[in-house]
Amino acid sequence: MRKKITIIGAGNVGASTAQLVAKEGIADVMLFDIAEGIPQGKALDIAEACPLWGSAVSVKGTNNYADTKNSDIVVITAGFPRKPNMSRDDLLHANADVVKAASQAIAKNSPNAIIIVVTNPMDAMAQLAWKTTEFSCRRVMGMGGILDAARFRTFLAWELNVSPEDIEAMLLGGHGDQMVPLPRFTTVKGIPVGEILKKKTLGALIQRTRSGGAEIVGLLKSGSAYYAPAAATFQMIKSILLDEKRVLPCAAYLNGEYGVKDLYVGVPVVLGKEGVEKVVEIKLTRDEKTLFRASCTAVRKLVKKLAI
C-alpha cells in the first residue's frame, strides 16, 4: 500500500508541494484547505496531469480533516503570507492560531504521522506544533534551513559562474533574518568559499540570502515565495519517505545539543523514516557560537510570546 501525505493549506506552497509529490509518484496526496472548492479543484488539476507524468498516485482535495486520517507525513503550509515591509515575525499570532488548529487535527486523525512545518515564523511554529500534538520531537520539524541553503547556493553559483550542484552550503539558526552562515563548511567541490571569494563579496551574498524571502515579496507585491519552499519541503518528504538519511539543515528540537535546550532552531540533521534520526553537531568557532546564540535568542523570544 502506498504511503499517504497530507498537505494542510492549498495555497501556492501547498499546491506546489502536492504537485512535486504527485509527479514523482512516491505517495498518495490529500490536499486540505478550509476554503471550499480550492483544494478539490487544485487536486483535480494535479490528478489530471498524473497520466502525463506516468504517475499512478491518488490526489484528492478536501475540507474535512477526517479525510486526512492515517497520514504518514503531514505538511503544514497553511497561514497568512507576508506582504511588503512585513517580517516573518509579524505573522506570529495570526499564524499561531492556524498551526494550533491544524496540529490538534493531526494529533486526532494521524497520531503516528511525521510533521513538517512550513508556516512562518517557521521555527516558532514548529515548536508550537510539537507542544500541541505532544508527539515525539523526532517526528516534528521545520523546513527553513534547506530553503536558506538553496538560496545561498544559487547566489554563490551566479557569483562564481559554476553549477549550483557543485556547491554545498551549511547554515544554522532561525530561518531567514536570523540565519547563521557557515562559510567554513560551504564549499565548491570541496573548496571553502572563503578561499575563492573576497570577504566583502561573501558578506553581500550572505545578506542577500538572509533577506531572500523579502526580496521576492518585494518583487511580487502580493504574495511570497513558493517554488523554492515547495522544492525544499519535497526534499524533506523524499528523504523521510524513502529513508534516504540525507544530512539536511532543518529546524529540529535541541535538548542540550549546541548548548541549547528546549528550542526548535535550524541545525544539520539526518532525515530518515523515523524523522529526525540524529542532530549533527559540528564544532563552532567563537564568532559562530556568538551568532548562533543570538539567533537562538531571537527565536526563543517568539516562542515566549506564544506562551506555550
Tell me the catalytic residues.
175
Cis amide prior to 121 (ω within 30 degrees): yes
d(CA 37, CA 210): 36
Q: Position 122: which residue type?
A: M
In total, the chain counts a number of residues equal to: 308
Closest-CA residue to 145 (of 174, 188, 119, 183): 174
Give the pairing of strands 179-181 and 261-272.
unpaired
Contact present, 68 and 32 (Cβ < 8 Å): yes
Report the sign of the C-alpha dihedral through residues 251, 254, 259, 261, in that order.
Answer: positive
Specify the 3-state DSSP secondary structure of 238.
helix
Task: Report phi then psi at 59, rounded to 5.
Answer: -130, 115
Residues 235 and 148: their CA atoms lie apart, in Å, by 13
Return the closest-CA partner of residue 174 out of 83, 272, 252. Answer: 252
Phi-psi region of 25 (alpha: psi -120 to 50; beta: other; left: phi over 0): left
Question: Can you say how many angstroms the Cα of residue 179 is from the centroid of all Cα atoms in its chain?
Answer: 13
Q: What is the distance between the alpha carbons of residues 53 and 32, in angstroms, rounded to a whole number?
A: 23
Please, which residues have CB within 8 angstroms of residue 156's CB and are 6 or more apart in sequence?
A: 164, 167, 169, 186, 188, 193, 197, 205
